[in-house]
Chain A
Amino acid sequence: MTPRGSGTRGARPGEKDLATRARHLPRNVFASFTLRSLAANRVRSAVTVAGIALATGLLMAVLVSVTSLQNGLANQGRKSDGVWQVAFPNTDEAELQRLREAAGDRLDRLATQRDLGSAAFSEEGAERNGTFLTVVALPEEQGDTSRAMGDDAYDVINEPEVVEGRLPEAPGEIAVTTSLLDEEPTPGASELPGVEAGIASDGPIQVGSRLTLTLGRRYSPSTSGTSPVSTGSSETYESVVTGTNPDGTPRVEPGDIAETLEAVGDPRTYTVVGVVSPDWSVPGYLAYVSPDETGGSTEPLMNARFSTTCTSRADLDALVESVRPGGGESGYYVNEGLLTYEGLGRDRFALDTVGMFAATLAVTIVAAAVSLISNSFAISVSERTRQFGLLSSLGASKRQLRRTVLLEAAVLGVAGVPLGMLLGVAGAAVAFTVTGDGWASMVGTETAVTLVVRPWCVLLTAVLACATLLVSAAVPAVRAGRVPAVDAIRQAQDVRPSRRLRRVFSRRRHAMDDLSADGRRPRGLAALVGGVPAFLARRTLAVSASKSRVAVLSLAVSVTLLVTAGVVGDLLSAGLDVSTDSMGPYDLRVVVADAAEEGQAGADGGSSGAAAAGGSPALSAADDLLARISGIDGVSAAAYVGEGTATVRLSKGLLDRDALADASDSTTAPVDGSGYATASVMCVDDDTWYSLADSGVIGLADADPSELQAVLVGALDVNDGQRYGVRRVSPADAAGTAELLVLSPREGYGDPVASYDHTDAVDGYAAYYTPTGAEDTDSQLIVPVEDAVARSTSVPVVAVADDLGDGFPLSASSLRVNFPTLVMPASAVRETPDALQALLDSYRNLWVEYDARLAEGAADAKVLGAMEDAVGDTGGVSLLRSDNIAALARDARARSFTAQVFLYCFAAIMTAISVANVFNTIASGMMLRTREFAALRSAGMGGRSFRLMMLVECADYAVRGLLIGAALSLLVELFLNRAMAISVSGLAFEVPWGHIALAFAVVVAALAASVSYALHKTHAMNLVEALRADAL
């Protein structure tokens, strides 16, 4: 408040204010015009903001979902593989020191793992275990990195998973993989020339066994000389060094094993303290010792793996190259999967399936958003044509007018974009919470997929949303600048006759050409059917063709999205039904086989069927085991099916040979109805046999399970990519016998196989004997099948069925995989030695599956565990497999539910965007016609006629939108159906009437809302005011 200061102000009061105001006046004028126009069209502005928010939200949700999913996958990878990014095989302290120096703070975590060397199995042991057993120390994390042990959620290198016992903690302790359990290493020569087996134990390997290993260093030849082989391949290199190339490098040619074992240390005996899961990512077998272990090969190796905080692949590559130049296979390798999830993938533009899917969705969303927003701006500009013309006549530059529109975009964006980002994150959070189980089931049950919002997602969404706004506003903005001042002054309305209409008019010469022949109505079909209102409606649609196209297209998009979402949802559930149906109607399953055959069934077919003459423990103990399983708390019902194969001879008439040939060209069929075949033979418990009578598959007279009889499954599931369904291959009323054959063994030959077709070699059906150990078929012994048959049992076929009813543990589709399949009562088979022998003969791969239904509220995993224990308690049998069908079905349901939640959310939001578009287009179009409506009313159009006119216009939109949308979605459905048909049988193409009806309801509702809002607004304006309508 100095006198001077106040004097200056006092001298020319207000002058500065005026100047300031004058300077700011133009901008203020345009800004206030914009804001006032937005406020005046409150509803349209709100709908546009909602559209921007929805589109932004959807973009955000898609990006957030994808990153969360990738993060989930990355976490799963970190959990299973560790967080290492780069591995340096065969490194040393000096190199690691160089790495530390080069990386500095970027070295996040580092772990080392020593490789003590490999021991060779004997030639006999190598058949099952591979050539080598490699011993590695447990990984050790180094504590001198920038974040060493800071984050202990994941290891750098994962420790193996302990199945039994514990991990080695002190020197002299060792852990082996489950695959070595019960193995007894044998001495002798190894597969490597001149190398003896280096593995010995004091009996079958168990926890507590003592294992003596003689470890050496593997060397493999390569063009650059021999190099040590670190943890890795059990493969015996099929190559050999045959000489020297002209350039001095060793010449390597295909041949025998070229690897050598060198630097062999002293034998050392370890105590087995634990059994761990095999690491399938490393070929060959590993054994683990403690990090403090010494000994082994005289040439121990150290491997290192580390993670960095590098933010780009180039940075990471440069770092690694600086420490270990050359790269390549022997140089180092990277955890490409994890790097990809971390955004450091080799090819930045290579998208995985998820990324591709997300990109497609994002493009769709942006396209829909551009359509909505640009349409909204176009309407805003055309509404203000007169205003822009007026401003331009008063000297507004094109640039100023363009800016007005862009300012409008900015205002709408400032409101819509942040709102949308919040909505998107919130929506995705809700969706992820609801569908947690499904994601867990898809990504891996151990890791929960949680919502991750990365800064780049927020940034990308904001950028995309703003770019969308800018693109959307650009065209209308340019148009705003081009509005000729004269248009505004002439008050010309934005009605230009379409080319078609101009052509129609140009053909009309006489005044009366506009009218029908009797002069009572306008010319044309619309007027004939619906009078003047319909005529006016059609004319309006013809004139504003482009505007109506936007509305029709938006409606069609909504219809397509809704119907397609519904159809895809249906297909998902259909796929789910099929996939769970194929598991059969029971909840839990354990499969057992004879203990003696375990692991080798079918593999060594050398022993003769006679060895099993005493019967199969799996089958003979079946009733006892079934009783035990039925008694488990939580089991409400149980059944068993023994499954094996046998050579059978079907009597004439049991087979429609043409149908079989048509149904399958892979199934070898008897040449006529009486040929030989390898049949799938199933033996079922008494209750299951009774259930066949209950479901009408067999007559009550045949329901006695002590009678030897069979049901023939006389159909095959056909699916060759074009046709799918059930194909009957036996006449429904066929009857006859199936003869179960025992073929006689021959000294020096394997199990004989009966032929299915006539062979010239024996002029009829043949049995083939392959010499033991021979691979080729040249030395086969071929005899007429009649001569090979030792014994046979004739089983009457009492029924032919293509479905064994709901009581049967196996699903109909799994029964229709092979032909022929015979089902017999186990009780009768056990009492008939020849039939049993036939079943056990040849392939000897009989197994019995026990199926149980869960009682209400029982815990599936616990009951399954009890079933496995029951198997363990039964002598002579061992567990082959157990299936938690209930859990599988639950997982499948959770996955399907997850997919449907995301699908419907996407469809619903896209539909909302489309509906907003329809609303903006139609409501604004009608409001622009306020004066026209007033003119019509003042010229004597009544309310009824007016409503009829509106109805015809809307019906036109609705019908066109619905037809185009329905046609599009049917095309999509057809495509999807074709795609699904390859993997899912029994899918029929159906017109999705339900979904179309829903889409129709949405279309009608959208139109009704738009029109009623617009009419409310136009009628709210007094007819007198509307007629003047000279307001800007």
Chain B
Amino acid sequence: MDILQIEHLTKTYGSGDTAVTALSDVSLTVAAGEFVAIIGSSGSGKSTLLHLIGGVDRPTSGTVRLNGEDVFRRSDEELAVFRRREVGLVYQFYNLVPVLDVVENMCLPVLMDGRPVNEARLTDMLRVLGLEGREHHLPNQLSGGQQQRVAIGRALMNAPAVVLADEPTGNLDSRNSAEIMGLLRRSNRELGQTLIVITHDEDVALSADRVVALEDGRVASDTRTR
């Protein structure tokens, strides 16, 4: 079953002579539970694609459907609800809220939604993410790898339809990178979490179900690895 359908997605920044087309007529579908790696050189449009899927940015034209629903027919306010319920975003630079501790950061999307936090899920995730004993630390008291694990926890906490990660290991050493990718893969395998990861790392790309290569804002190749 296709959970994500992208059709003729185009994104142009600026206008007139200075206009830059970041994405040009990209169409793509992702099945539920699929682990997709997106690769491409710098400026190929990877991050733009991810931000459009995550409802962080709006496209110039084209549609993105998640669970059959058109993402961009929503108002800004509805889009905020979409971001906290339907997607989980992980960035290279973590982007945690500096004044909240680990648990508060992780629970933020749930709390903003006004739903109760599932205690079993929270403790389970803290254990899996190796953040036990760090529950009440602020981000600046954590290492980079720990911060990224909190970011992953935040992305997974709401059991979103799709987790979008933008070079999640780009800022980490190899040991931490392996751990982070391990966690993401585990959520994919054990929980059937749909996963779209942008990466420069060949190993990461090879561990995915499918590798989509972008070039100048277009899909250059779409290879299934297994």
Q: Do the beta carbons of A942 and B56 come within 8 Å of each other?
A: no
CB of B101 within 8 A of chain A? yes
Of the residues B56, B84, B113, contact of A1027 by C-beta under 8 Å: B56
Q: Pick the interface stretch among B75-83, B193-201, B208-216.
A: B75-83
Q: Mark A925-963, 1 if CB is under 8 A from B, else 0.
A: 000000110111111111111000000000000000000
Rounded to whole angstroms, the CA-CA distance of A1023 and B91 in the bound complex is: 13
Assembly CA distance A1028 to B92 (angstroms): 8
Rounded to whole angstroms, the CA-CA distance of A518 and B126 in the bound complex is 19
The answer to whether A508 has its CB under 8 Å from any CB of chain B is yes
Q: Which residues of B contact A506 (CB under 8 A)?
A: 136
List the A side residues contacting B112 at CB < 8 Å. Answer: 532, 939-941, 945
Say yes or no: A941-B99 contact (C-beta < 8 A), given A497-B138, A519-B117, A532-B111: no
Contact A508 B95 (CB under 8 A): no
Q: Is A778 an interface residue (CB 8 A)?
A: no
CB of B149 within 8 Å of the partner chain: no
Q: Which of A495, A532, A935 contacts B95 (CB 8 A)?
A: A935
Nearest opposing residue in chain B for A531, CB measure: B114
Q: How far is the CA of A935 from the CA of B84 in the complex (A)?
A: 12
Asked if B140 and A496 sit within 8 Å, CB to CB, the answer is yes
Q: Say which one of B23-31, B102-110, B174-182 lies at the interface with A.
A: B102-110
**Cβ–Cβ < 8 Å partners of A1020 in chain B:** none
> Is B154 an interface residue, CB under 8 A from the partner?
yes
Assess whether B115 is interfacial by the CB under 8 Å rule: yes
Neighbouring B residues of A510 by C-beta, 8 Å: 135
The reply on A166 being an interface residue by CB < 8 A is no
Which of chain B's residues have a CB closer than 8 A to the CB of A532?
108, 111-112
Q: Which residues of chain B are within 8 angstroms of A1028 by Cβ–Cβ distance?
A: 93
Whether A520 contacts B115 by the Cβ 8 Å rule is: yes
Which residues of chain B have C-beta atoms less than 8 A from A941's C-beta?
80, 84, 112
Nearest chain A residue, comparing its CB with the CB of B144:
A490
Q: Does B61 contact A (CB under 8 A)?
A: no
Which one, B81, B82, B96, B117, contacts A512 given CB within 8 A? B117
- A278 interface residue, CB < 8 Å from B? no
Question: Are the CB atoms of A505 and B103 closer together than 8 Å?
Answer: no
Alpha-carbon distance between A522 and B100 when the two chains are bound, in angstroms: 10
Taken residue by residue from 506 to 534, chain A's Cβ proximity to chain B (1 for < 8 Å, 0 otherwise) reads as 10101111110011111000000001100
**B119 part of interface (Cβ distance < 8 Å):** yes
Check B89–A938 contact: CB distance below 8 A: yes
Contact status A539-B56, CB under 8 Å: no
In the complex, B65 has a CB within 8 A of chain A:
no
| Interface size grouping (class) on chain A | 35 or more
In the complex, the answer to whether B136 meets A508 with C-beta atoms within 8 Å is yes
Which residues of chain B come closer than 8 Å to A1024, judged between CB atoms?
Answer: 47-48, 51, 56-57
In the complex, A80 Cα to B155 Cα: how many Å? 87
Query: Which partner residue on chain A sits nearest B158 by CB separation?
Result: A940
Chain B residues within 8 Å of A511, by CB:
103, 119, 122-123, 126, 135
Which of B101, B112, B113 has most A Cβ within 10 Å? B112
Chain A residues whose C-beta falls within 8 Å of the C-beta of B185 in the assembled complex: none
Task: Write out, one digit per residue, whether chain B residues 47-69 have a CB within 8 A of any chain A CB (1) or not (0).
Answer: 11001001011000000000000
**With A and B bound together, what is the CA distance between A536 and B101 in angstroms?**
12
Chain A residue nearest in CB terms to B51: A1024
List residues of chain B with CB within 8 A of the CB of A505. 101, 136-138
B97 within 8 A of A: yes
Taking CB atoms, residues of chain B closer than 8 Å to A496 are: 140
- By a CB distance below 8 angstroms, the chain B residues around A935 are 95-97
Any B CB within 8 A of the CB of A578: no
B130 at the interface (CB under 8 A from A): no
Note all chain A residues with C-beta closer than 8 A to B113.
940
Contact of A519 with B119 at beta-carbon distance under 8 Å, contacts A493-B140, A932-B98, A940-B112 already known: yes
Q: Which residue of B lies closest to A538 (CB)?
A: B99
A789 contacts partner chain B, Cβ-Cβ < 8 Å: no
Most A CB contacts (10 A, CB to CB) among B80, B81, B119 go to B80
Asked if residues B111 and A940 are in contact (CB atoms below 8 Å), the reply is no
Give the Cβ gap from B198 to chain A, nearest Cβ, in Å: 13
Q: Please give, as numbers and ranges, the residues of chain B lying within 8 Å of A909 by CB-CB distance.
A: none
Interface centre among B48, B76, B95, B116 (most CB of A within 10 A): B95
**Known interface pairs A522-B111, A939-B108, A945-B112; A515-B140 also in contact (CB < 8 Å):** no
Contact in complex: A943, B80 (CB < 8 Å): yes
* B126-144 near A? 1/0 per residue, CB < 8 Å: 1000000001111111001
The residue in chain A whose Cβ has the minimal distance to the Cβ of B103 is A514
Chain B CB within 8 A of A546 CB: no
Whether B126 pairs with A942 at a CB distance below 8 angstroms is no
Interface centre among A520, A543, A932, A938 (most CB of B within 10 A): A938
CA distance A496 to B107 in the complex (A): 21
Min C-beta distance of B190 to chain A, whole Å: 21
A505 to B100, CA, bound (A): 11
- Asked if A37 lies at the interface with its beta carbon under 8 angstroms from chain B, I say no
The closest CB in chain A to the CB of B92 belongs to A1028
B46 within 8 A of A: no
A247 at the interface (CB under 8 A from B): no
In the assembled complex, A1030 has its CB within 8 A of some CB on chain B = yes
Report how far A511 CA is from B123 CA in the complex, Å.
7
Assess the A491–B93 pair: CB atoms within 8 A.
yes
CB within 8 Å of B: which A229-278 residues: none
Q: Which chain A residues lie closer than 8 Å to B118 at the CB level? A: 519
* Complex interface: chain B residues within 8 A of A519 (CB): 116-119
Report chain A residues within 8 Å CB of B84.
939-941
Are B91 and A1027 in contact, with the CB atoms below 8 A?
yes
A518 and B116 contacting across the interface, CB-CB below 8 Å: yes
Q: Cβ of B80: which chain A residues have Cβ within 8 Å of it? A: 937, 940-943, 945
Contact B135 A939, beta carbon cutoff 8 Å: no
Return the contact of B117 from the options A491, A493, A515 (Cβ within 8 A).
A515
Residue of B nearest to A510 (CB): B135
Q: Which of B85, B116, B122 is within 8 Å of A940, CB to CB?
A: B85
* Minimal beta-carbon separation of A220 from chain B (angstroms): 85
Docked-complex contact A492 and B140, CB < 8 angstroms: yes
- How far is A934 from B83 in the complex, measured between Cα atoms in Å? 12
- The answer to the question of A540 belonging to the interface, with a C-beta cut-off of 8 Å to chain B, is yes
Q: B99 CB to closest chain A CB, in angstroms?
A: 5
Question: Residues of B contacting A937 with CB < 8 Å?
Answer: 56, 80, 83
A1023 CA to B93 CA in the complex, in Å?
14
B125 to chain A, nearest CB (A): 9
Within 8 Å CB of A1027, what residues of B? Answer: 56, 91, 93, 95
Contacts of B137 in A (CB 8 A): 505
Hey, which chain A residues are within 8 Å of B136, CB to CB? Answer: 505-506, 508, 513-514
* Residue from the set A495, A941, A942 with the largest chain B CB neighbour count within 10 Å: A942
Docked Cα-Cα span, A511 to B133, in Å, equals 9
Known: A493-B140, A519-B116. A942 touches B95 (CB 8 A): no
**With a CB–CB cut-off of 8 A, which chain B residues contact A1030?**
93
In the bound assembly, the distance between CA atoms of A490 and B145 in angstroms comes to: 12
Q: What is the CA–CA distance of A609 and B224 in the complex, to the nearest angstrom?
A: 133
Q: How far is the CB of A212 from chain B (nearest CB, A)?
A: 100
Quick one: which of B47, B81, B104 has the most chain A CB within 10 A?
Answer: B104
Contact B98 A495 (CB under 8 A): yes
On chain A, the residues within 8 Å of B47 by CB distance are 1024
Most buried by B among A510, A539, A935, A1023: A935
Q: Which residues of B contact A493 (CB under 8 A)?
A: 98, 139-140
Chain A: CB-nearest residue to B98: A495
Known interface pairs A511-B122, A514-B135, A1027-B91; A938-B97 also in contact (CB < 8 Å): no
**Selected A-B contacts with CB under 8 Å, 21 pairs:** A505-B101, A510-B135, A512-B119, A512-B122, A514-B135, A515-B111, A518-B116, A519-B118, A520-B111, A522-B104, A532-B112, A536-B99, A536-B100, A539-B100, A543-B99, A935-B96, A938-B95, A940-B112, A1027-B56, A1027-B91, A1030-B93
Q: Please name 8 further chain A to chain B contacts, defined as beta carbons within 8 Å, in addition to the given A940-B80, A943-B77, A1024-B51, sorted by A numbering.
A: A492-B140, A514-B107, A532-B108, A932-B99, A936-B97, A939-B89, A939-B108, A942-B76
Instruction: In the A-B complex, list the 8 residue pairs whose CB atoms are closest, starting with the nearest.
Output: A940-B84, A942-B80, A935-B95, A495-B98, A505-B136, A940-B83, A519-B116, A519-B117
